[in-house]
């Protein structure tokens, strides 16, 4: 087995110009397959709200649900860095509560936490890092602010927006974040941020210049038929494969072909 991935290793990868691969997972089996594939980072994203629970917004998922997913993922992982996403209201209500919740993610098996926001979360990031909890930032499109943002539009598309994002990124770095997710940011803006920072940027819909890339695993596997996002490259058609398998099973049961003699005691 290759060496375990650590936050220090990610920084070294950036220095060497080696791209960082990341995907989300919410359960044991997926995490196990991902770890075997050699992925660098597994994010237990609050996108579990949409993908796993079928909630419309990520806002709905709770600490308890995220802890459950984190434990399940950790059970399948030996090498990749497991990062837990702090859900809505688990860090916004005060530093003390944020420390307790982040600490509980580490107890559940994560090696780091991610939280959304720039300058507005700097005090929280500093305290978590002071207490030995590695923090990944997340700027650009931050789905927990969907109602304030008014939707899921592209960020960094004006000089003012670019300056804001750069300030947020620098503030997160100065607060001790080990990496920052750049979500749905125009490529040129993501490039400038990536070049300015010593810590790695992980892009999702932020173009090719980021130090690494992340996608929601269900999107890239073609499990999501409800909508297609421009920045998602689809690597498989698992939705159709599952549908065919389920239909074949139903047919076999109805036609009394399953179970066969060989499948019986
Ligand atoms: O929850 C999630 O899946 C995320 C990624 C999109 C970065 O935050």
CA-CA distances (angstroms) from residue 31 to 74, 80, 83? 8, 9, 12
Catalytic residues: 183
Kindly state the average pLDDT of the residues 157-182: 98
Map out the domains of the chain as residue ranges: 7-234, 237-265
Cα(45) to ligand 1 centroid in Å equals 5
Q: How many Å apart are CA 234 and CA 253, to the nearest integer?
A: 32
Q: How many Å apart are CA 246 and CA 263, to the nearest integer?
A: 18
pLDDT band at 2 (very low <50, low <70, confident <90, very high): confident
The CATH architecture to which 7-234 belongs is Alpha-Beta Barrel (3.20)
Select from 20, 21, 22, 24 the residue to mutate for testing ligand 1; criterion: most ligand atoms less than 8 Å from CB: 24
Select from 59, 143, 224, 229 the residue to mutate for testing ligand 1; criterion: most ligand atoms less than 8 Å from CB: 143
214 close to ligand 1 (CB < 6 Angstrom): yes
The per-residue b/e assignment along 158-192, b for 16 or more CB within 10 angstroms, e otherwise, is eeebbebbbebbebbbebbbbbbbbbbbbeebbbb
41 close to ligand 1 (CB < 6 Angstrom): no
What's the half-sphere exposure (Cβ side, CA atoms, 13 Å) at 186? 11
pLDDT tens digits along 41-96 = 999 999 999 999 999 999 999 999 999 999 999 999 999 999 999 999 999 999 99
pLDDT tens digits along 116-143 = 999 999 999 999 999 999 999 999 999 9
pLDDT of residue 31: 98
pLDDT band at 15 (very low <50, low <70, confident <90, very high): very high
| Stated pTM of the model | 0.97
45 close to ligand 1 (CB < 6 Angstrom): yes
pLDDT tens digits along 209-258 = 999 999 999 999 999 988 889 999 999 999 999 999 999 999 999 999 99
């Amino acid at each position: 087995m290759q060496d375990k991935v650590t936050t220090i290793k990610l920084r070294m990868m950036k220095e060497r110009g080696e791209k960082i691969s990341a995907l989300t997972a919410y359960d044991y089996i997926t995490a196990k397959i991902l770890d075997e594939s050699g992925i660098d980072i597994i994010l237990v994203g609050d996108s579990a709200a949409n993908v796993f629970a079928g909630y419309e917004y990520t806002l709905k998922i709770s600490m308890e649900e995220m802890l459950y997913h984190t434990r399940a993922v950790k059970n399948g992982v030996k090498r990749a860095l497991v990062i837990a996403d702090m859900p809505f209201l688990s860090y916004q209500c005060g530093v003390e509560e944020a420390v307790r919740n982040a600490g509980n993610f580490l107890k559940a098996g994560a090696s780091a936490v991610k939280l959304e926001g720039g300058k507005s979360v700097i005090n929280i990031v500093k305290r978590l890092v002071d207490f030995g909890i590695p923090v990944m930032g997340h700027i650009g499109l931050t789905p927990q602010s969907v109602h304030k943002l008014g939707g899921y539009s592209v960020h960094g598309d004006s000089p003012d927006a670019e300056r804001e994002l750069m300030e947020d990124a620098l503030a997160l770095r100065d607060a001790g974040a080990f990496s920052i997710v750049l979500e749905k940011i125009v490529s040129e803006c993501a490039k400038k941020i990536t070049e300015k920072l010593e810590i790695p940027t992980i892009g999702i819909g932020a173009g090719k210049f980021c130090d690494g890339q992340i996608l929601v695993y269900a999107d890239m596997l073609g499990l999501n038929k409800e909508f297609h996002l421009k920045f998602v490259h689809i690597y498989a058609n698992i939705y159709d494969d599952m549908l065919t398998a389920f239909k074949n099973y139903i047919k076999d049961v109805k036609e009394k072909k399953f179970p066969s003699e060989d499948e019986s005691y």
